Amino acid sequence: MAIVVAEHVDKRFPDGAGRSRKVLDDVGFTVRKGETVGIIGPNGSGKSTLLRLISGVETASGGRVLLKGKEAAAYPRKQLARWLAVLQQDALPPIGFTVREVIGMGRYPYQNWLGDEREDPSALIESVMERLGLTALADRTLERLSGGERQRVALGKVMVQEPELLLLDEPTTFLDIGYQVQMMDYIRDWQRESGLTVVAVLHDLNLAAQYCDRIIVLHEGRKVREGTPADVIESDLIASVYGTRPIVLPHPVSLAPQILLTPGDHSRNAHQPAIFSANSHERG
């Protein structure tokens, strides 16, 4: 079953000078239940914008994004939040709520106006904390956690939301490599157990190649390729999109294609000034 269908999606933003700038141009793809689909592309390629369109916080200027056959706006917000969750890169601010309280906030879409649920969610909350190794930190406030720990809390909050579709927006950007692998492993294990569908914007091509079933490459707002990691992570495509030609080798254990960067080899800047101005908007 198709969870996400994007059809001829365009997105324009006003550029301040009275005209509009196209950030996404005729992008289309389908995500089926249980898949992990990666979206990669250089800065300013429109990948975060695409994720925001899927999550429904922004609407497409042209074309449409269907979530289980309906546009996001057709769902009441809480109902959508019961099966679609988003994990952002800059996860949680250092606030005075405890780990347990923040994870419990993931139940908001299931609560009535008094804050009650049909069934007591505390067993679920405890088991998620157990699984993510947060039990010892349960009564600590977020102000007193490291960035890596806060990102794990963010994952916990998303897990108690019990979604069917998880959108990841560069969730490992601010993590060191140990936490990066840990985070992706948690998500993969969870996915295998629950049949979760994952759409992930990833910065790191090597992580994308290891964890995704399928990868979509965006370049200047257009989809330039879609396929298995082996189809996508190849030297010519990377060179034309990122402006640097890497060496691609199979991972000795998983056999996933991995890239090695070659210093001194870059060919962009001169012919792509628009990309850099687009960047500030995408991160906004």
Q: State the residues that interact with other proteins by CB under 8 A.
A: 55, 57, 77-82, 85-86, 88, 92-93, 95-97, 101-102, 104-106, 108-109, 111, 113, 115-116, 120, 122, 161, 284
* Residue 170, token pair as written in the block: 């560069």
Residue with smaller CB distance to other proteins, 116 or 193: 116
The CA distance from 239 to 21, in Å, is 25
Query: Least distance to other proteins from the beta carbon of 225, Å?
Result: 29
Residue with smaller CB distance to other proteins, 146 or 253: 146
The CA distance from 208 to 215, in Å, is 8
Query: Least distance to other proteins from the beta carbon of 144, Å?
Result: 13
* Residue 111, token pair as written in the block: 């609560």
Query: Least distance to other proteins from the beta carbon of 118, Å?
Result: 13
Residue with smaller CB distance to other proteins, 25 or 169: 169
**Single-letter code of the amino acid located at 230:** A
Of 109, 178, 177, 100, give the one whose Cα is nearest residue 145. 100
Contact (Cβ atoms closer than 8 angstroms) between residue 28 and residue 8: yes
The CA distance from 149 to 226, in Å, is 34
Residue with smaller CB distance to other proteins, 50 or 205: 50
Query: Least distance to other proteins from the beta carbon of 169, Å?
Result: 10
HSE on the CB side for 172, CA within 13 Å? 22
Residue with smaller CB distance to other proteins, 86 or 216: 86
Query: Least distance to other proteins from the beta carbon of 216, Å?
Result: 22
CA distances, 100 to each of 38, 124, 137 (Å) = 30, 11, 8
